[in-house]
Structures are given as structure tokens and as C-alpha cells.
Amino acid sequence: MPVVRVAVRDAGARVDAELVSSPHDAARGLMYRRSMPEDRGMLFDLGSRDDHQFWMHNTCIPLDLLYIDQDGLIVGIVENAPTLDDTSRGVGCPSTLVLEVNAGWARRHGVRAGQFIELPPEVTH
């Protein structure tokens, strides 16, 4: 998967994220991985604007999930999603992208809903 740079404008936070755009890769996500460096993540380009739901099936790393709309607006964040859990999680707002990072990353970097992500040119809308 290609790696893209994702930056939060107002927070000055950056992460290099694997870009996921196929349904197969989106279904697998970060399953079975045991760790991830602090400055890494996974960006899901979901291809449609919807109230997307994610689960942590076979995901061993606790994660923050940032739901991002097509203009880069962070519409909501699920913090510290429990590992190995099949409960669907969303933020109740439409988005087109989801950025998964290590749990606590959003707080450590002052990232919150209402801020904007600088979307890489590889992201489709």
C-alpha cells in the first residue's frame, strides 16, 4: 500500500499513513498487527460520504479513529477503541475518510473534531 503524509493544520501534527482504497484492504485494515510506530497510521479512502462504522475485529492495537469529510474537516473522533472487539463504532456524521492512529495520539497532539486535515493528492473524492 502506498504511504502518504497526513497533517492536521491547526495542531501541527503529522503522520505517515498507509493509504487504503480497495474494499479488500479496508476489510483487513490493521488486523493482526502487534504494534505501530507513533508517527504511523492507516488512512481509509472509503469512496463515499456516509456515516461509516468501524470495528476492531482481530485488531490487537488500541486505536484512535479520526472520521474526516471530503474537505478535510475532522467530523468526529473515536478515542481508544477497544481491541479485539466486534462492536461497530462511528461518530454519527457523514465522512469519506477514516484515519487510524495509535490510541491517545489525538490527545497527545491536540487533535480534535472541527480541525482540518491536509489531504494528500492521492486521496480521491
Domain extent, residue 15, equals 3-118
| CATH number (domain holding residue 39) | 2.60.120.1140
Compute the radius of gyration of the chain from its Cα atoms: 13
Tell me the pLDDT of the chain (125 aa) as tens digits.
899 999 999 888 999 999 998 776 777 777 768 889 999 999 999 989 999 999 889 999 999 999 999 999 999 999 999 999 999 999 999 999 999 999 999 999 999 999 999 988 888 65
In a domain, 123, yes or no: no
Instruction: Give domain status of residue 19, yes or no.
Output: yes
14-28, pLDDT tens digit by residue? 999 999 987 767 777
Inside any domain, residue 30: yes
Q: Quote the CA–CA distance of 62 and 102 in Å, as a whole number.
A: 6
Alpha carbon distance 115, 112 (integer Å)? 6
Structural domain count of the chain: 1
pTM equals 0.93
